[in-house]
Amino acid sequence: MKTNRREFVKDALKVSAAGVIASALNPTELFAATTLQFTQVKLPYAYNALEPYIDAMTMEIHYSKHHSAYVKNVNEAVAADKIGFENEKDFFANVSKLSAKARNNGGGVYNHNFFWQVMKPSGGGAPTGKVADAIHGAFGSFEKFKELFTDATMKRFGSGWAWLVNDDGKLKIGSTPNQDNPLMDLCELKGTPLLALDVWEHAYYLKYQNKRNEYVANWWNVVNWEEVAKGL
């Protein structure tokens, strides 16, 4: 299919170059299979809303430069590679077959869209209700869960993410390199993301410099447990 479409496009261009009127060619038909467009969620709070734990400048650069660049780049890759998946779920479930540009930037879009939503001003504290029950059931206590999650953030060498996922009713903690995520077919950690923490230096360096441990410790104050509950 892909080859045929490419050949068709090539032939169409040849015809066009030969001076034949190409107005019958409708570009939306040529690329009808390319329906996936990644978008950036609206930040659910102001850049300074997570102060003092995450500073406004870091949030602004993170959202308006880093995250938006992932959106632009993945959509370029989707168009250039003629990636025909209809939704992000299928895109990630087949990501091992895609280019590094598609994988890295697609992950970058999804991960940040998710990350913004699992934080909120005046968040944090210990979870209650079904989140508390699930965490206690899986890890024994909230303190133990925090310890294991923090461990995942600190053991991730270089850039990446720490995750809490729901793998078919079983809660798991792990981390991924770069912009990989647990929806990806090539990811060792599998499941529906419940909570994520960006441990790329761009997420904390302006305020915390090399002290990733302080960033992680303070980040617990902005966790949005109501959002975490939606994944259970």
Q: Give the footprint of Mn ion on this chain (CB under 5 A).
A: 198, 200, 203
Nearer to Mn ion, 109 or 173 (CB): 109
Q: Is 36 in a helix, a strand, or coil?
A: coil
Count other C-beta atoms under 10 Å from residue 12's C-beta: 15
Q: How far apart are CA 217 and CA 155, in angstroms?
A: 15
Nearest distance from C-beta of residue 54 to Mn ion, angstroms: 11
DSSP, residue by residue, 77-90: HHHHTT---SSHHH
Nearer to Mn ion, 34 or 181 (CB): 181
- Which amino acid, one-letter code, is at 196? A
**Nearer CB in complex with Mn ion: 127/174:** 174
Q: Closest distance between Mn ion and the C-beta of residue 22, in Å?
A: 42
Min dist CB 186 to Mn ion, Å, is: 20
- What sign does the CA torsion over 173, 144, 44, 206 have? negative
Query: Which residue's C-beta sits nearest to Mn ion?
Result: 198
13 CB contacts (<8 Å, ≥6 apart)? Answer: none
In the bound state with Mn ion, the residue whose beta carbon lies nearer, of 104 and 166, is 104
34 versus 224: smaller Cβ distance to Mn ion: 224
CB of 179 to Mn ion, least distance (A): 8
Q: How many CB atoms sit inside 10 A of residue 111's CB?
A: 24
